[in-house]
Structure 1
Amino acid sequence: MNEVFRALSDPTRREILRLLRARDMTAGELAERFPLAKSTLSGHFSVLRHAGLIVQERRRTSIVYSLNLSAVEETIAGVLSLLKTGRDGKEGS
Structure 2
Amino acid sequence: MAWHPKIKLEPLREIGQRDWNPIGAGVPADEYDTYLLSAAGQIVNGRSDDAVADYLMSVEVEQMGLDPAPGIRARALVVASAIRAYVQALGY
The TM-score, its normalising length taken from structure 2, stands at 0.36
The TM-score, its normalising length taken from structure 1, stands at 0.36
State which structure, 1 or 2, has the greater radius of gyration over its C-alpha atoms.
1
Higher relative contact order structure (alpha carbons within 8 Å, sequence separation ≥ 6): 2
Q: Higher strand fraction: Structure 1 or Structure 2?
A: 1
